[in-house]
Amino acid sequence: MTNKVKPHLAALFALLLALFIPLGASSSNDIPLALVGRWTQESTVNSRFPRNIELYKDGTGISDSMSITWKVEGKRLVMLSSLRGQSYDYNVAEAKLTLSLENLGSASYANRDSTKPANANNESDKLATANERDRASSDNVANVMKKIVVAWGDARLHGLPDRPSHGQVQKFITEAVMPAITDEINPWETQGAMKAYNPVVVQETSFDGYRTKLAATPAKKGQVQFGYFLDPSGSPVFCTAVYLHNKLGNGQNVAVKVQAMF
């Protein structure tokens, strides 16, 4: 009798244990450490694959200046961004990574961290990384504005007036734009501003995004700020801004994108 009960108790225990493990939960053990690092295609470049990839232990990263999340499913490396997703067959060994796709060939990568001489001056590497993070942050400013334009057109088709109220604009950003990007990570991983996009929307006083630019501070480096302005006719003007590590051609650290909706 005892031998018959134990398997049932074991099965019940396993079921109860599963119920207390959140679905989708992951840990550092889920991340293959051999993939973590900064990867660059070797001398023979396949333009159908990313040129530079950074994969971090927390499952975030950068692919050719674009913020991504990544994971491994079976024997495939999956990389997701706000614009697209792609999965590759992969093989990693001795600081070499090979990605391949059916009908697109393959690309070989070297790990920049492991191949660097022990006594090398890493200032150039730091600068390259800073430039890549800035590019990823700048791309977020432009890419999310594209999302706003598309979402605005869809919202207009579903009844949003072309002369909306302040409340309707705020609701549009928080409900039609933010859900698709809320989990993205700031390329600079700035303490206190880890999210790539600030959900707090600035109500502008001018069409040039002045207050949105003021919200993009060094304390929020890399995080995109949202703002909007209702012009005299009532049409909205959307603004996005981000504080960058390096100064731009105008001598400022803040990149801005302004888009009027007509």
* Per-residue model confidence as pLDDT tens for the chain (262 residues): 444 445 554 444 444 333 333 333 344 446 788 898 889 888 677 888 998 898 988 888 898 878 899 999 988 999 998 787 889 999 988 789 999 998 888 999 988 776 444 444 455 555 567 888 898 899 999 989 999 999 999 999 999 998 999 999 999 999 999 998 888 889 888 889 989 999 999 999 988 999 999 999 999 999 999 999 999 999 999 999 999 999 998 899 999 999 998 7
List the structure tokens of 171: 């609701």
Q: For residues 245 and 257, is the Cβ–Cβ distance under 8 A?
A: no
Q: For residues 36 and 57, is the Cβ–Cβ distance under 8 A?
A: yes
Going along the chain from its start, the domains and CATH numbers come out as: 2-111 (2.40.128), 126-260 (no CATH)
Instruction: Give pLDDT, residue 220.
Output: 96
CA gyration radius, the chain: 23
Task: Please give the Cα distance from 170 to 88 (Å, whole number).
Answer: 39
Distances from the Cα of 112 to the Cαs of 42, 94, 231, 255, in angstroms? 11, 12, 49, 29
Going through the chain in order, the beta strands assigned E by DSSP cover: 37-41, 52-55, 60-63, 66-73, 76-80, 85-93, 96-101, 105-111, 185-190, 193-195, 197-203, 224-230, 236-243, 254-260
Instruction: Give pLDDT, residue 32.
Output: 80
Q: For residues 97 and 109, is the Cβ–Cβ distance under 8 A?
A: yes
- 206-262 pLDDT, tens digit each: 889 999 999 999 999 999 999 999 999 999 999 999 999 999 988 999 999 999 987
Give the number of other CB atoms < 10 A from CB of residue 119: 5
List the structure tokens of 31: 């991340």
Instruction: Give pLDDT, residue 17.
Output: 38
Task: Please give the Cα distance from 200 to 210 (Å, whole number).
Answer: 16
pTM of the predicted model, to two decimals? 0.57
What single letter denotes the amino acid at residue 9?
Answer: L
Give the closest residue to 257 by CA, choosing from 221, 222, 213, 223: 213
Instruction: Give pLDDT, residue 122.
Output: 54
Give the number of other CB atoms < 10 A from CB of residue 170: 15
Instruction: Give pLDDT, residue 128.
Output: 61
